[in-house]
Amino acid sequence: MTTLTLRCRCGRLRGQVDAGRIAARAVCYCKDCQAYGHFLGTGVLDAAGGTEVAATLPAAVRFDAGLEHLACMSLGPKGIYRWYASCCRTPIGNTPREQHMAYVGLVRACLDADDTTLARELGPVRLRANTKSAMAPVASNPLAAAWPLARIVTMLAKARLGGAWRANPFFGTQADEPVKPVTVLSLEERKALTPQGQRRP
């Protein structure tokens, strides 16, 4: 079993993920992920405004140190939970609000592995989502994306049926109760994070 180290940029928040349970690598170019990148600061988004995530089960993730730095925000009252390290504003992962949807997209920035290691352990990025809102032309290949999508759907279904969804470091003992208070942005705060008026990378 290969584990990948999770590490925020400053190293206070640490953990690990079972690489064998990562279903796929994906890059998302949606406006929400871009807004979240702006919320955290510079150096989160790639040149096209994309955020790479490793799609996996929350049960495959473990935090070992610095849990006091784990923070959670949402871009709106219905938005997904976006987890980050408050010490240095490194994105950690995105989860649905419902615990039984056993999914976390671990953000590339917190995976302590070089590109060669990631390619070897997880394969290449085959899934590029919401390319229409990318800040630069991005080739999307629906055919290549079919397989990783199917793997993610299978992973979710298996966790749902097998009860693996219960083990989830982002949620507490109460159902659907996140382990940290969630900072929900107001509409004004959310609007202030839109790319309009922001310097394009």
- Between residues 11 and 164, which has the closer beta carbon with respect to Zn ion? 11
Among 6, 8, 27, 60, binds Zn ion (CB under 5 A): 8
Nearer to Zn ion, 1 or 65 (CB): 65
User: Do 46 and 28 touch, CB atoms closer than 8 A?
Assistant: no
88 binds Zn ion (CB under 5 A): yes
Interface region with Zn ion, contact rule CB under 5 A, candidates 6-14, 100-108, 114-122, 167-175: 6-14
| Structural tokens at position 68 | 């006091």
Q: How far is CA 3 from CA 13, 21, 72, 111, 120, in A?
A: 16, 10, 24, 11, 13
Among 3, 16, 18, 30, binds Zn ion (CB under 5 A): 30
153 binds Zn ion (CB under 5 A): no
Q: CB neighbours (10 Å) of residue 174?
A: 8
Q: What does 162-198 look like in DSSP terms, one character per residue? A: HTGGG--TTB-SSTT-BSS-EEEPPHHHHHTTSSTTS
Q: Choose the binding region for Zn ion from 86-94, 95-103, 135-143, 148-156 (rule: CB under 5 A).
A: 86-94
87 binds Zn ion (CB under 5 A): yes
The residue from 2, 5, 10, 42 that contacts Zn ion (CB under 5 A) is: 10
Q: Which stretch binds Zn ion (CB under 5 A): 7-15, 144-152, 155-163, 180-188?
A: 7-15
21 near Zn ion, judged by CB under 5 A: no
Contact 9, 88 (CB under 8 A): yes
Size of the site for Zn ion (CB under 5 A): 9
CB of 198 to Zn ion, least distance (A): 17
What is the distance between the alpha carbons of residues 65 and 6, in angstroms, rounded to a whole number?
A: 10
Q: Which of 104, 62, 55, 61 is nearest to 81 (CA)?
A: 104
Kindly list the residues in this chain that would bind Zn ion in the complex (CB under 5 A).
Answer: 8, 10, 12, 28, 30, 33, 85, 87-88
